Amino acid sequence: MKKNDQKTPIFDQYQQEVMTTVYSVLDRVKCEMMERKYISKEIYPVFRIQKELCGIVEKSIESPGIFNEEFDLQSPPAYVTGDFAIETFGLAKKLKESPQTLSSKVVDGINREEHTEFIDKAVAVGPFVNVEAKKNILYASTLSCIATLGDKYGESDINAKKVVVVDYSSPNIAKPMGIGHLRSTIIGQALANLYEKTGYSVIRDNHLGDWGTQFGKLLFAYKHWGNEEDIEKNPIEELKNLYVKFHNLAKDNPQMEDEARVLFAKLENGDPELTILWKRFRDWSVIDFEKMYERLGINFDMHIGESFFIKEAEKVVQDCLSKGICRIDDETGAVVVDQQDNLPSFLLRKQDGSTLYISRDMATLKFRNEIFNPETILYVVGSEQSLNFKQFFSLARRAGYLPDSVKAKHIDFGMVTKEGKKMSTRRGTLIELNDLIEQSVEKSREIFSKKNPSLIGEKLDEIFEIIGVGAILYNDLHQSRIKNISFDWDKMLDFEGGSATYLQYTYVRIQSILKKIDETFPGESDIVLDESNICFETKNEFSLAKKLMEFPQIIAKAQKTDSPHDICTYLEELALLFNSFYNDVSILKTGDDTLRISRIMLSRSTANVIKNGLALLNIRVPEKM
RNA sequence: GCGCUUGUAGCUCAGUGGAUAGAGCAUCUGGUUGCGGUCCAGAGGGUCGCAGGUUCGAUUCCUGCCAAGCGCACCA
């Protein structure tokens, strides 16, 4: 079918708007590359210790560079004395020596070293080396580092000057956004934050599902049952009703699907009337989505969407045909990509000539590479699409749209299920995001106004909003991505144990302590002691500081493995350690001035890290609750 | 039928080629006249789905099987 390139003025105007946004994002990224002040990895005690220990170990076994920069700082099990542990099995294999020989060599090397910054001494236990740190140095430099960096503690330059495009949320415009798209939105935003904090310049792209056969369906429904008045009043609700009505009737009238496809093909050929309608649907939806994004604290650089790429998608098909990696099917006339790399064959263009998801995605990929030159592209999309992404990446590599230098990752995640079944618009089991947020916020209002009746004032609504929204975000992020989440109102709104609320509460409690301190010892809550004066007394205090020290490393690992839930696990452990410390000693009653102020610094550092950690997950902390 | 993912404590989930597999909830015991108990400490509870294999060592890697979920061209 011959393409009609005469788009309506509306479409042209829309394309120009998109390009304006794209170039402003590009400017921002270029600027960032030149001017961003990165926090050097080298200033963090955790990385300095790692480097020091690695150096000594390599020296003591006379094998410089053997770790190849992959030396991991591990902690020994709880029942073993020692701050760090090294196991020599791996080395033994590489060097063809016995683990025991190596561990005693390493221990000798460590104990022989005189001018160390953090490392004190070591003992060998069979194949293990248990290392003791200079505890006071580790403790003081960690607290001092946090006090200096504040909100920036944890950021690093590990991935400085690299660009990542994160493609996430990507709701379909013809449908209301439900809890399924929430996962992509939340995970994508957390990953974008993680990448940014390790040095990446991040481009956040909401690749709207604003094209495709579902628009044919919506146009069909609108033409048959659409009521202007109702739509004006409540556009999103009415569009949803139309969509559901279509599906209900199409079950018994399969020809409706064909008619919808015809309408979509007309739209793709630039039918002016349909284009105007399409643009209206799109605008309404975007406005509606924006409200939700704002509430969840999600921010995108652009909402380009698939519709932008339809012309280029056709060129992609032509290009692939000329490169001989796909063919026109003799019988149907559709464009087919044959079985390759053990992947089943699939279509690149429909029989009626209109584009498909994968051809538009190919064009999108080409565009992103040409304009932004990214090091990595993340596609945050549910795992039910994993076959599609394998086909897409395989085709893109063969077509030369995805050079080996560019990493493309499908960040997959499990579904949100209800009673073991996927929730969907069609089944009517979809829970809408608005309802979810409302209910969560209401629940937090209910619980906290009862628990803490003294909580009054104008900021109350904001506090409940922070708690309610935090509970939703955390519920989604605290378990590993890949697993299905079974949807359960009670669990989602459970504010106990391993929840955002527990972490927020710990933060608030620290703020309260600091306030109390200022009443008794005015001005002490924000004193920063000189490193040489910072001290501690109990084991709990040290364990807490050691945990605080690990934070930058945890961020690096969470980014590297695309696992926001590592941050959750870490924060829960941290909060537990703080609560132990809190239970153990009274800061207010600490008589010794430097010890008391050190403890205040420790508490403030903990609050700081909880805040920074939750911020990575897009969760805010209230000042009271 | 083929492919992908998952299977760890009663429940929800972490974790790992190596030292005695961990949290939260639930159950039981103890602490607290507090810096906000939405806390802390402790106990019980596990053949890490089953069976083989690789390895000095496997819950982790490989193979087979069982169970659940998802996917397998004109949807996205």
Which backbone phi and psi does A327 adopt, to 5 degrees? Answer: -145, 160
User: CA A98 to CA A499: how far, in whole Å?
Assistant: 45
pLDDT band of residue A552 (cuts 50, 70, 90) is very high
Nearest nt to the A172 alpha carbon by C1':
B76
Residue range A465-478, pLDDT digits in tens: 999 999 999 999 99
Round to whole Å and give the CA distance between A430 and A424: 5
User: Positive or negative, the Cα torsion across A91, A96, A102, A105?
Assistant: negative
Average of per-residue pLDDT across A372-400: 96
Angstrom distance, A418 CA to B62 C1': 35
Confidence of residue A2 (pLDDT cuts 50, 70, 90): very low
Q: Averaged over A488-511, what is the pLDDT?
A: 86
Residues 9-68 of A with CB within 7 A of strand B: none
pLDDT higher than 80, residue A6: no
Using one digit for the tens of pLDDT, what is the confidence trace for A562-617?
A: 999 999 999 999 999 999 999 999 999 999 999 999 999 999 999 999 999 999 99
Residue A68 has pLDDT above 80, yes or no: no
- Tell if A538 CB is < 7 Å from nucleic strand B: no
Q: Is the CB of A482 under 7 A from strand B?
A: yes
Distance (Å, whole) CA A282 – CA A210: 7
Question: Does residue A56 surpass a pLDDT of 90?
Answer: yes
CA distance A422 to A552: 37
On whether the CB atoms of residues A623 and A474 are closer than 8 A, the answer is no
Q: Which of residues 328-367 of A touch strand B (CB under 7 A)?
A: 329, 332, 334, 336, 344-347, 350-352, 354, 356-357
Across A219-244, average pLDDT: 87
Q: Kindly give, in sequence order, each residue whose CB lies less than 8 Å from that of residue A474, ignoring residues fewer than 6 positions away.
A: A499, A500, A568, A617, A619
3-state secondary structure A502-538: HHHHHHHHHHHHHHHHHHHCCCHHHCCCCHHHCCCCC
Between CA A533 and CA A208 the distance in angstroms is 55
When pLDDT is cut at 50, 70 and 90, the band that residue A420 belongs to is low
Residue nearest to nucleotide B41 (CA to C1'): A580
A5 pLDDT exceeds 70? no
A109 CA, B16 C1': Å apart: 28
Judge if the beta carbon of A100 is closer than 7 A to nucleic acid strand B. Answer: no
Residues 285-324 of A with CB under 7 A from strand B: 306
Mean pLDDT of the region A521-547: 94
* Mode of pairing for the β-strands spanning A327-328 and A201-205: unpaired
Q: Is the CB of A213 under 7 A from strand B?
A: yes
A3 pLDDT exceeds 50?
Answer: no
Closest nucleotide over all strands to A623 (CA to C1'): B36
Residue A193 has pLDDT above 70, yes or no: yes
Nucleic chain B: which protein residues 381-410 of A have CB below 7 A from it?
383-388
Alpha-carbon span A45 to A142, nearest angstrom: 6
pLDDT at A243: 85
Has residue A1 got a pLDDT over 50? no
What ipTM goes with this model? 0.95
Q: Which residue is nearest to nucleotide B11 (CA to C1')?
A: A491
Residues 574-603 of chain A with CB under 7 A from strand B are 575-576, 579-580, 582-589
Q: How far apart are CA A571 and CA A544, in angstroms?
A: 11
Give the side-chain half-sphere CA count within 13 A for A435.
Answer: 9
First to last CA, chain A: 63
A569 CA vs B42 C1’ separation (Å): 23
| Distance in angstroms: CA A67, C1' B56 | 23
Shortest-distance nucleotide from A421 CA to C1':
B69
Asked if strand B comes closer than 7 Å to A427 Cβ, the answer is no
pLDDT in tens, A310-366: 999 999 999 999 999 999 999 999 999 999 888 999 999 999 998 999 999 999 999
Closest C1' nucleotide to A343's CA: B3
Residue nearest to nucleotide B13 (CA to C1'): A479
Quick check: helix, strand or coil at residue A250? helix
Residue nearest B19, CA–C1′ metric:
A77
How sure is the predictor about A220, in pLDDT bands with cuts at 50, 70 and 90?
very high
Asked whether residue A146 carries a pLDDT value surpassing 70, the answer given is: yes
Q: Is the CB of A495 under 7 A from strand B?
A: yes
**How far apart are the C-alpha atoms of A321 and A529, rounded to whole Å?**
69
- Measure the CA–CA gap between A621 and A120, rounded to whole angstroms: 38
What pLDDT was estimated at residue A441? Answer: 92
Give the Cα separation of A335 and A224 in Å (integer).
32
Q: Are A550 and A479 in contact (CB under 8 A)?
A: no
Average pLDDT of span A438-449? 88
On the question of pLDDT at A404 being above 70, the answer is yes
The letter for the amino acid at A248 is N
What positions of strand B are covered by protein, i.e. any atom < 7 Å from a CB? 3-6, 12-15, 17-20, 22-26, 31, 34-41, 56-57, 68-76
A350 nearest nt, CA–C1':
B74
Number of H helices, E strands in chain A: 21, 13
Nearest-nucleotide field for A338 (CA, C1'): B73
Question: Nearest Cα to A46, choosing from A174, A171, A141?
Answer: A141
State, as a whole number of angstroms, the distance between the CA of A439 and the C1' of B33.
39
- Protein CA A4 to sugar C1' B72 (Å): 34
User: In terms of C-beta density within 10 A (0-12 exposed, 13-18 middle, 19 or more buried), how is residue A546 classed?
Assistant: buried
Model confidence pLDDT, tens digit, residues A292-309: 999 999 999 999 999 999
Q: A141: Cβ–Cβ under 8 A, 6 or more apart, which residues?
A: A45, A118, A531
Q: Where are the alpha helices (DSSP H) in A2-43?
A: 9-35
Residues 143-162 of A with CB under 7 A from strand B: none
Spatial contact of A215 and A259, defined as CB atoms under 8 Å apart? no
Is pLDDT of A139 > 70? yes
Show the CA angle centred on residue A172, arms to residues A170 and A173, nearest 5°: 120
Q: Which residues pair with A302 in a beta bridge?
A: A205
The pLDDT-based confidence of A428 (bands split at 50, 70, 90) is: low
Report how far residue A241's alpha carbon sits from residue A236's, in angstroms, rounded to the nearest whole number.
Answer: 9
Residue identified by tokens 């559709």 is: A334
Answer whether A380's CB lies under 8 Å from A167's CB. yes
Looking at every residue in chain A, the average pLDDT score rounds to 91
Contact A67, A58 (CB under 8 A): yes
Nearest nucleotide (C1') to alpha carbon of A336: B73
Nearest protein residue, CA measured to C1' of B21 = A77
Q: Could you give the 3-state DSSP secondary structure of residue A422?
A: strand
Task: Evaluate if the CB of A130 falls below 7 Å from strand B.
Answer: yes
Nucleotide B74 C1' to residue A226 CA (A): 27
Q: Which of the 170-189 residues on chain A come under 7 Å of nucleic strand B at their beta carbon?
A: 172
